């Protein structure tokens, strides 16, 4: 029964995300695992019934379903043998599953220390471990539980106060209340569950009021943005024979955006099939079009510069701003690189892993959250899965960004759920920061989201097109943008306190 409950939690958590189910499943996703961990907190028998193992099983299912695209990405586009891609995907899934395992171990220890009342610490345990998953060693903050509510507009407004991790805490709190009532008939737990329900009502009512007021859609300079979706196949992107056709396609799409009144034209990540700043003859038509139309461009391109320490040249995944005169006015270099995509972690150990790279070498990470001055406003550019990191968008807004732009190449994902998951992570950043978010993706999904998480534009996958959308350049800061992840820091303090007071219970039976 314990293993069944652990499996059920994993399935429900995965089913909370796009194309796999519905957001409602998230609210009870943790309940079965919490119940299983509590019931087996004092088990001396099979290792399969211990909380840590149950959490590991649940995490393997959760991430296994949500990251099904990994194998195809690494084998089809990364040039890895299928078995190597499967091995790397299994290793990553196993690593990510460690965090739900630690969560379950902590829940089990809390029940041993405090009885059923200990399960009420579960929301803080979940937030702490989820944040660690997204932060340690660069982290992998894909599919946090809070992001499952990106399309539930009244609920997701809570992220403007507490961020995605605070929203995860609320979801975990509801699941914890259900688990506590299932475990005990004590009146205190029924009252607690009722209080959680009342809190949820307040959150929903507050969210509805915030959206209805709609202040953020009535202020700020209006800017029409042109988003290009070239739909360039990944296997031809760096083929020399296709350089001219790719450039003609993007120039034609750019002209369409300009004719539609775009005040700025945005190209996807690495859309230039060459080093834009280094190959002036290839770049000249783009500069000329920007100058002739008096329209700024944001271009996704790789940059190369000499290594000051000697050795191979440094390559950056960058966004370059062309001014209305066609000259380069600034560049942002991607700070959060993709492991096994733009660099190989532990290269000495994982020597057998081929790199999934678009340049000729490993990429180098940028260090500054650069903000561009464009058309009388300020905008920032996150590149690819940087939009999954709340701290990056918050850093941009702290530096004065009034519009959050994401450029990406999601061709790697094929027609899996990953593109939809990525798009909804952008919606979370919009609500957290109180900013419009626009996204230009090589093969889609491109689009725009308003500061309340409502989708203004969403393109189909694998179609070449130009899309224009009106957004607003906004100032001001949300509560979350000002205070950051206070919920996370509180959770971490509680975990440290608990590790101290319950160290014997943790060591004795939770972890096999």
d(CA 74, CA 236): 17
Catalytic residue among 130, 237, 269, 358: 269
Out of 334, 432, 433, 505, the active site residue is 334
Chain centre to alpha carbon of residue 175: 23
Specify whether the CB–CB gap between 266 and 298 falls below 8 A.
yes
CA pair distance 199, 442, nearest whole angstrom: 42
Residue 424 known to be catalytic: no
**Is residue 458 annotated as part of the catalytic site, yes or no?**
no
| Cα gap 268→319, rounded to integer Å | 9
Q: Which of 277, 342, 384, 386 is catalytic?
A: 384
Q: What sections of 342-462 are H helices per DSSP?
A: 390-398, 418-433
- Rounded to 10 deg, the angle between the 159-183 and 122-135 helix axes is 130
Which H or E run includes 265? strand 264-266
Q: Are 22 and 39 in contact, with CB atoms under 8 Å apart?
A: no
Question: Minimal CA–CA distance to 341: which of 74, 93, 87, 143?
Answer: 74
Q: Give the span between the Cα atoms of 231 and 429, in whole angstroms.
A: 25
The Cα angle at residue 384 between residues 161 and 272, in degrees rounded to 5: 145
* Radius of gyration of the chain measured on its C-alpha atoms: 24
Residue 149 contacts residue 143 (beta carbons within 8 Å):
no
C-alpha span between 443 and 474 (Å, rounded):
28
10 Å Cβ neighbour count for 333? 19
Tally of CB atoms within 10 A around 194: 12
Active site residue 358: no
The residues annotated with a catalytic role in the active site are 269, 334, 384
């Amino acid at each position: 029964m314990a293993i069944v409950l652990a499996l059920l939690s994993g399935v429900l958590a995965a089913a909370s995300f796009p194309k796999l189910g519905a957001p409602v499943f998230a609210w009870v996703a943790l309940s079965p695992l919490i119940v299983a961990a509590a019931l087996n907190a004092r088990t001396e028998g099979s290792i399969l019934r211990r909380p840590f193992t149950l959490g590991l099983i649940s995490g393997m299912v959760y991430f296994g379903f949500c990251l099904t695209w990994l194998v195809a990405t690494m084998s089809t586009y990364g040039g890895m043998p299928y078995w190597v891609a499967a091995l790397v995907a299994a290793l990553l899934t196993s690593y990510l599953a460690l965090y739900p395992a630690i969560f379950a171990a902590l829940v089990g220890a809390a029940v041993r220390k405090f009885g059923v009342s200990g399960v009420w610490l579960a929301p803080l345990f979940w937030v702490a471990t989820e944040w660690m998953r997204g932060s340690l060693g660069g982290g992998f903050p894909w599919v946090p539980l809070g992001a499952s509510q990106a399309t539930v507009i009244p609920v997701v407004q809570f992220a403007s106060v507490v961020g995605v991790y605070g929203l995860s805490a609320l979801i975990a709190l509801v699941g914890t209340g259900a688990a506590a009532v299932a475990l005990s008939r004590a009146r205190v737990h029924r009252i607690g569950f009722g209080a959680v329900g009342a809190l949820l009502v307040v959150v929903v009512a507050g969210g509805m009021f915030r959206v209805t007021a709609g202040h953020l859609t009535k202020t700020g300079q209006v800017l029409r943005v042109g988003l290009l979706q070239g739909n360039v196949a990944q296997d031809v992107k760096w083929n020399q024979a296709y350089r001219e056709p790719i450039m003609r396609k993007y120039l034609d799409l750019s002209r369409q955006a300009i004719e539609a009144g775009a005040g700025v034209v945005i190209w996807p990540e690495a859309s230039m099939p060459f080093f834009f700043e280094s190959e002036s003859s290839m770049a000249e038509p783009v500069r000329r079009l920007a100058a002739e139309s008096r329209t700024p461009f944001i271009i996704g391109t790789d940059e190369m510069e000499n290594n000051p320490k000697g050795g191979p040249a440094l390559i950056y995944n960058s966004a370059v701003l062309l001014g209305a005169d066609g000259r380069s006015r600034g560049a942002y270099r991607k700070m959060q690189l993709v492991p096994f995509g733009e660099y190989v972690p532990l290269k000495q150990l994982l020597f057998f892993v081929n790199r999934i790279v678009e340049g000729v070498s490993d990429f180098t990470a940028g260090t500054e959250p650069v903000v561009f001055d464009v058309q009388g406003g300020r905008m920032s550019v996150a590149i690819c899965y940087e939009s999954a990191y709340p701290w990056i968008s918050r850093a941009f807004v702290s530096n004065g960004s009034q519009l959050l732009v994401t450029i990406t190449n999601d061709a790697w994902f094929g027609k899996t759920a990953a593109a939809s998951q990525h798009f909804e992570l952008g919606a979370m950043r919009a609500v957290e920061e109180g900013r419009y978010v626009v996204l230009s993706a090589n093969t889609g999904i491109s689009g725009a989201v308003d500061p309340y998480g409502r989708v203004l534009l969403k393109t189909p996958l694998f179609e070449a097109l130009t899309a224009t959308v009106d957004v607003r350049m906004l100032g001001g800061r949300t509560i979350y943008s000002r205070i950051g992840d206070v919920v996370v820091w509180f959770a971490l303090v509680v975990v440290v306190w608990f590790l101290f007071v319950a160290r014997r219970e943790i060591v004795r039976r939770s972890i096999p």
